[in-house]
Amino acid sequence: SQTIHQWPATLVQPVGSPLSLECTVEGTSNPNLYWYRQAAGRGLQLLFYSVGIGQISSEVPQNLSASRPQDRQFILSSKKLLLSDSGFYLCAWRKLGNNEQFFGPGTRLTVL
């Protein structure tokens, strides 16, 4: 069976500090991968998606970036966090040929 992992589960960071969130998927190959953010009072917002190693598409211009160094690894990064980066970050995967996306447990980020 497939599983998706995210870490850390929670994170408190000062404004201006760097960020690295990691997502890995097990039990499948060549998945589509997605990063979403869920801020208070707002819907899930798609940040990045990837159809393969090294292939990243950005949906919203911002101070965040994403990378996919391996088939089942997806990383979300920032060089300098802003207060507005606080939120619940969710990684999701989709098996090719299927429609539904499955979400990881999420990382709750608080920027102070």
Partner 1 sequence: GQNIDQPTEMTATEGAIVQINCTYQTSGFNGLFWYQQHAGEAPTFLSYNVLDGLEEKGRFSSFLSRSKGYSYLLLKELQMKDSASYLCAVRSGAGSYQLTFGKGTKLSVIP
Residues binding partner 1 (CB under 8 A): 32, 34, 36, 41-46, 49, 59, 90, 94, 99-106, 108
Amino acid identity for residue 55 in this structure = Q
Tokens of 87: 């939120």
The two three-digit tokens of residue 100, written as one number: 């539904």
DSSP lists the bridge partners of residue 77 as 20, 65
Which two three-digit tokens encode residue 23?
Answer: 């997502």
* Least distance CB 46 / partner 1 (angstroms): 5
Query: Shortest approach of partner 1 to residue 82 CB, angstroms?
Result: 22
Quick one: 69 or 100, whose CB is closer to partner 1?
100
Residue 85, phi-psi category: left (phi > 0), alpha (psi -120 to 50), beta (remainder)? alpha
Residue among 49 and 74 whose Cβ is closer to partner 1: 49
Q: Which is nearer to partner 1, 12 or 15 (CB)?
A: 12
Quote the least distance from Cβ 86 to partner 1, whole Å.
Answer: 15
CA distance 93 to 110: 24
Q: How far is the CB of 83 from partner 1 (least distance, A)?
A: 21
Q: Which of 13/58 has CB closer to partner 1?
A: 58
The single-letter DSSP state of residue 84 is G
